[in-house]
Structure 1
């Protein structure tokens, strides 16, 4: 069998190794050190945020973000339904309840009109949410201006989950830097990876300082170990920060490579009926972290799952679009505002191999399988 083509594998170079060797040579292996400090400064400069804090994961960053904007037991938090569960789990960590908001079709992200409706309804009932989490999916920013304006009207803080959107833009600025606080992920499949890691950013320096304290077991300023609040072990190691510094230097190259993958697929499938790619919204740059499309089974001749399994048989990894959170068993009891758009995107959506290290031969293998399914449709019942 041919070697496996992964959805989004890590892409390492020589710069990362040089920084890691420096970390070993200096014996800075702990979750602090010069590479952590430098990575935070360089990342903040990259996204245009005054302050950044390197953490062990994007989930850890989101957990701290929600706690720092005041989310606690009994609160409600509005959040995109079309996302990964890591966008929602920290809400439950804090004893709060998610309320799911459907997507709009231009960017596949949170629908500003539905958010406005939900906030207005809750304001009349005297039950405004404690926060809103806006998720930026697959390398594309949500339409932030109307989302932020709606939250502003009701005094609700915005937390941006930009885990998938590093390198993208919204009207010339980086998503993740518009709300009260933003988070990024450096998981192994992300456009920039530290193996595992994340970043918390904010224009509020005091918030970042408090986050730093909480992330280091909430140790008080004392010569002995003293704690006046509950903390966590959420800091990023100096070794992983060294990897991140090397990755950050080639971020633009990685974005351009992924956008080139998308352009390759778009050209290769241009004549196939029933295939529609995730749009690039007019308000900014889509990194195409993942090249994502929908398949109309009537027009194409086969459904999304037939295409995915055909790729898997050829040792090619592809995945359905995120299953909406309101359809997940663990979150089925929570409120939502609509959901038909995200449900349709899940039903028809497929993520194709998108790594910045894909070769032209690997891209051709993916195209060949998809085109073969279109030529020889095998219909399935259900999905």
Structure 2
């Protein structure tokens, strides 16, 4: 029987069943219960922050961050084109206007182009940064595949122009700087807000679920309040603000508490498996394993193989389909968000690297329980398929 190596599946080898059963036995299955608080405390301790609010998804974490950042209808938010669309959709929820900013070779936002845009395309007057008459309120910085963006450069610009920085750390729980002014700081704890995801393919999962933190602990408290329908008096149903049904459930949190216990080991495996892939692909002429930013310790959530387009003319769909038939599940990086139908009318600034990588990046199997034999099998099949698809 042919092997099948999945792209990225959850790993439940700890106390997940024990804690979920406990939550069921207690009857706390919805948005109240001790496991939600335990997860928030566990994350705060791990990230070295004061306050964390657990919520329904990474998307809701981003939406709540934009609300708390003061993004209102008509405001401008600078966003990346090369990421999952959930990083940008919440901007539309606020009826704000996204402007797409190119990436650098880390797949994360290019601070050089960001600086040029802010200096040459915007005006700064009376403490406000304006683009075509609208205030630039925030920038959403995604740490793509666990690779940290150039936060020192981005934060310097944000502080100069009074822009809020929302870190989309949905793929980067556990990634941190090891050098420079942010040495020891984790993804999601450098900007004004940090959003995390516990979707089924993330380094830890609660099925769905997410979390949010902020520099100001009081803002996290307000986010938590908004996520529970802004209840001011739960007994008499008094609400002073428009709230959201964005709170995590206790069942999800029970899963999350167990997963947090395993997070350091999962990161260790991700890092070790990346090194195995890197060694096996060393010298391969048809594809190159993409590295991670120097001066950081990435969680190495996803591994990226850059296809050599000088030698491989096949479409990404053809490559993925051929690999699927050989028992190896892979995926393309993403379709550029600015090319999606809901965003065709939005502005994009000097996009060069984003379309370049969108045509070349293949994500390869990276589950934390993948074995050495499976890694070797995946690499051999990838080399085999790309060899067959090589231009004549």
In 1: Cα distance, 2:73 partner to 2:163 partner: 17
Of 306-315 and 184-193, deviating more is 306-315
In 1: Cα distance, 2:59 partner to 2:371 partner: 31
Residue among 113, 134, 139 paired with 2:141: 134
Residue among 156, 181, 199 paired with 2:163: 156
Residue-by-residue CA offset, 1:97-119 (whole Å, 9 max, x unaligned): 111110111x2210011111222
1:94 corresponds to: 94
- Give yes or no for the alignment of 1:297 onto 2:309: yes
**SS state at 1:138 partner:** helix
Residue-by-residue CA offset, 1:181-225 (whole Å, 9 max, x unaligned): 110000000001001100011131221121111111112236411
Question: Aligned-pair distance for 1:366?
Answer: 1.1
- Give yes or no for the alignment of 1:271 onto 2:283: yes
In 2: Cα distance, 1:340 partner to 1:251 partner: 35
In 1: Cα distance, 2:19 partner to 2:287 partner: 43
Of 57-66 and 10-19, deviating more is 10-19
Residue-by-residue CA offset, 1:296-341 (whole Å, 9 max, x unaligned): 1324686644432221112321111122222222212111111110
**SS state at 1:279 partner:** coil
In 1: Cα distance, 2:290 partner to 2:148 partner: 12
State how 1:220-235 maps to structure 2 within 5 Å.
220-221=232-233, 223-235=235-247
Unmatched 5+ stretches in structure 2: 178-182
2:14 and 2:262 in contact (8 A); partners too: no
1:321 corresponds to: 333
2:312 and 2:391 in contact (8 A); partners too: no
2:176 and 2:184 in contact (8 A); partners too: yes
Of 284-293 and 180-189, deviating more is 284-293
Question: Aligned-pair distance for 1:378?
Answer: 4.8
Residue among 351, 359, 373 paired with 1:361: 373
1:110 corresponds to: 109
In 1: Cα distance, 2:271 partner to 2:314 partner: 26
Residue-by-residue CA offset, 1:150-190 (whole Å, 9 max, x unaligned): 01100111111000001111232101001111100000000
Question: Aligned-pair distance for 1:375?
Answer: 3.5
State how 1:181-330 maps to structure 2 within 5 Å.
181-221=193-233, 223-299=235-311, 304-330=316-342
Q: TM-score, normalised by structure 1?
A: 0.94
Of 149-158 and 311-320, deviating more is 311-320
**SS state at 1:179 partner:** coil
1:159 and 1:179 in contact (8 A); partners too: yes
- Give yes or no for the alignment of 1:41 onto 2:45: no
Report the structure, 1 or 2, having the larger strand content: 2
**SS state at 2:355 partner:** helix
Of 40-49 and 3-12, deviating more is 3-12
Q: TM-score, normalised by structure 2?
A: 0.92
Unmatched 5+ stretches in structure 1: none
1:139 and 1:164 in contact (8 A); partners too: yes
1:40 and 1:52 in contact (8 A); partners too: yes
Residue-by-residue CA offset, 1:7-39 (whole Å, 9 max, x unaligned): 110111131112112212222212121111111
Compared with structure 1, are the counterparts of its residues 262 and 304 closer, same or farther at alpha carbon in structure 2 (3 Å cutoff)? Answer: farther
**SS state at 1:160 partner:** strand
Question: Aligned-pair distance for 1:257?
Answer: 1.2
**SS state at 1:142 partner:** coil
